Amino acid sequence: MSATPPPGPANGTTAPDGAATGLTLIVPTLDSHQLLARLVNSLQRQSWPHWRVLFIDGPSGAEHRGWLEALCHRDHRFTWQPQDPALPGIFGAMNQGFRAAPPEHWLLFWGSDDWAPSRTVLEAAMEATGQGARGARPPDLVVCSGRYAAKGPDGATRLGRRTAFSSCRAFRTSLFLGSTPPHQATLIGPGARRHLDHFAEPFRLSADLDYFLRLSRCRDLTAVQLDLELVHMGEGGASGQQTGRRLEEVTLAYRRAFGWLWALPFGLRYVRRLWSRRPGAGRRRKPAGQAR
């Protein structure tokens, strides 16, 4: 059964006067239009409507492409591009989005099965992009949290474990202690993009970890952390089915970043993962929009 794209916005979408930056969400797709309606609806109901979405579509079929065309025609905040064959895979599509988005925009990378959990999350996140002392430059990253979701036996969506960045103020130190920002819940600002504007080869599954590790070498990097559940994320994905390759890539990323000390962040990363999966972990939702 084909899915019908949601209708366009009821109100105008011109950003307010004086808006210095925008937000572009990059969403790689591949015959995933049946999943996209929830993502689209969650964005169209946002209290802050000045976002844009760029779909980078792999070699999808005619039904999916027709769905994208219809959506983009109805709501011009959505656009799409065919994926460049020279940039294969999910992170290749994300790199294409890096290049295509306006340089002054903040970036957010979501999957087809991700969605905004409430109508105010983008407003709260974008407010944080201007944090800092008067006259100071804005942060380079705004790091929020997310929560995984999956269908239960009855077909209903059930929320699972929370994923968040455990910050100890120094961004690189936090990475060394095994914590990693969830890329779906991390806004990448123009400053970070000027420092580093691509995910690296040969990573197919852990390029986001490698990106944050390389970015952390920038001494003037600033990151703001919010107690905000920005995104709900589908549990599926190739990375969960390719454990061996993921472990190899995580090892490579930590070796490149920390040399012979790589085993410490590697071990702490998976201790944190096991701890987050304990019964009842992360069930309490923290208040939205509170910086720390």
DSSP β-bridge partners for residue 290: 227
**Average pLDDT of the segment spanning 52-65:** 98
pLDDT digits (tens, 9 = 90+) for 2-25: 566 766 654 444 443 333 479 999
Six-digit token pair at 136? 């100071």
Say what the pLDDT of residue 287 is: 41
212-271 pLDDT tens trace: 999 999 999 999 999 999 999 997 655 556 889 999 999 999 999 999 999 999 999 999
Confidence of residue 200 (pLDDT cuts 50, 70, 90): very high
Model confidence at 64: pLDDT above 70? yes
The domains found in the chain, sorted by start residue, are 23-281 (3.90.550.10)
Q: Is the pLDDT of residue 167 over 90?
A: no
